[in-house]
Chain A
Amino acid sequence: MAVNQGYELPCDRNLELVWERLDLVGEGLADEHELTCPHCRTARESLLALREATAELVLQTEQPPPDLAGRIMSAVRAEVRRGQMLSLPTTEAGVVEVSEQAVAVVLRYAADAVGGVRARRCRVRTVGLGDAGESLVEVELTLAVSVRASGGSTMLDLVRTRVSAAAAARVGLRLVKLDLLVDDIYEVEE
């Protein structure tokens, strides 16, 4: 399970960094980003709450549960994600919803599958609700393309097709708008 490595918050800070700097921030040594960023604050509050809870548990039980750190990180990630949810269509009683970040991962993955394209940042925004109760979403996807990639517009058309298809087939969302921003080119190492 890859929960321990490289989880980024929506503000691009790494969760591990937040964990490392937890005490520094507590001592008033926060940098400017940490003072203002709501995502970092949510993560910090979650981590502090957990640290307290686990400290109590360590006193109570002889052995901490297996894979403690992994489960804590996974729980904190879940907590950060829970903030931004999109609703999906369902005919049953109750709600089915999916986190924006999970959707962003799926869409980035779909774009990455196109040769000569690397997906960078993916923003998902809800703009309304459809007839079946599903969220209507706008997506802005930032890409880097290979210098060797030929036929830029066909390639971007392919990205557009793949990303829309992934949204429908993998998630069940309908995209009302998909903006592709190419903000970098990269060299291919061979």
Chain B
Amino acid sequence: MTVETEFVIADAVVASVAARAAAMTPGVVRLEPGLKGLVTAWSRAARQRWKGLDPAPAEGVRVRTAGGVVSVQVDIVTSAADQAAAVGQAVQRGVSRAVATETGLVVASVSVSILDIEPEVR
């Protein structure tokens, strides 16, 4: 007898995986949470602390799931040592690969917004 098991992966999990993949991409200085991200992260942190958990960071990442199609939006700050366009594309690739291998979900699109480029230290 086989038992059918369904796995449901919450958007927050996808966001955490995506955030880690993006932050690890060479040329990315940090993720930029923005206003909405900051407030959401704080309320999520407060909720989880209350339950005795430390939340995995996902600031700067928004995940949308519609009809089984996952799309990810990442806001980052890059270093001027690397070409912003190349870093952006590397983040797109890294995030979709990480989400696919760690959650099994296929990401339809990853959009990257580079909000700041930090100059190299001379």
Residues on A facing B (Cβ under 8 Å) = 46, 49-50, 53, 57, 60-61, 65, 71-72, 74-79, 81-82, 85, 88-99, 101-103, 105-106, 109, 134, 169-173
Contact = CB atoms under 8 A, between A and B. Distances in A.
22 contacts: A50-B38, A53-B39, A60-B46, A65-B45, A75-B34, A75-B35, A75-B38, A78-B75, A81-B115, A82-B115, A90-B85, A90-B92, A92-B110, A93-B92, A96-B92, A97-B88, A97-B112, A98-B117, A102-B114, A106-B117, A171-B84, A171-B85
Interface of B: 32-35, 37-39, 42-43, 45-46, 49, 71-72, 75, 80, 83-86, 88-89, 92-93, 96, 108-117, 119
Given A50-B35, A109-B80, A94 B92 contact: yes
B118 to A, nearest CB: 9
A96 B34 contact: no
A102 B46 contact: no
Contact of B88 (A57, A71, A78, A88): A88
B109 to A, nearest CB: 4
A91 B71 CA distance: 16
Contacts of B75: 78
Contacts, number: 126
A171 to B, nearest CB: 5
B114 to A, nearest CB: 4
B96 to A, nearest CB: 8
A105 B117 contact: yes
B38 A85 contact: no
A172 B86 contact: yes
Contact of B117 (A46, A89, A93, A102): A102
A46 B114 CA distance: 19
Contacts of B83: 169-172
